[in-house]
Amino acid sequence: MNKLLAFRILVCVIGIILSIYAYYVEVAKTNDLSYEALCDFNDVVSCSAVFSSRYGKGFGLLEYLVGENHFLNQPNSLFGIGFFSIQMLGISPMNKTFNYVLYILTGGGIVTSIYLACILIFVLKDFCVLCVSTYVLTIILHYLNYKLLHHNVNSHKKIN
């Protein structure tokens, strides 16, 4: 169980670092249109192109739901920082309810990742290394959350 929790922390830290870098890239590109990020390889593999698109903020949806200038319509990278930070709070294997909430959140994260991957492929026709990396981390976290829930169920069965 300790290895599982250590791996979970590592995945969350990597997710937070990637999300912070994604935010940096978006801000840098906004301030300097000639800025090229480390993840910009060519016209088809460019994370700054994705982050500066309308889908890089509020998932391309919030501007229609709450308005373009609403405080909820933030860069996706800020949602990523929040998501991975909340997931890191789940390091306590004893709180079954919170672990279930984290499992549900990563399930929602996978649905969001599929939506954003479709945007990448079919709308933007781009490949974003940072984006895809966070999608993979979300899937890994979902699996770890499942393992944590499974461990909690089995440990409760042994006690009863």
Expressed as residue numbers, the domain containing 79 is 1-158
Number of domains comprising the chain: 1
Q: Is 1 exposed, middle or buried (0-12, 13-18, 19+ CB in 10 A)?
A: exposed
Say how far apart CA 91 and CA 14 lie, in whole Å. Answer: 15
**pLDDT of the chain along its 160 residues, tens only?**
588 888 999 999 999 999 999 999 999 999 999 999 999 999 899 999 999 999 999 999 999 999 888 989 999 999 999 999 999 887 665 677 888 899 999 999 999 999 999 999 999 999 999 999 999 999 999 999 998 887 755 554 444 4
The CATH number linked to 114 is: 1.20.1440.130
Closest to 146 (Cα-Cα) out of 90, 86, 112, 99: 99
pTM score of the predicted model: 0.89
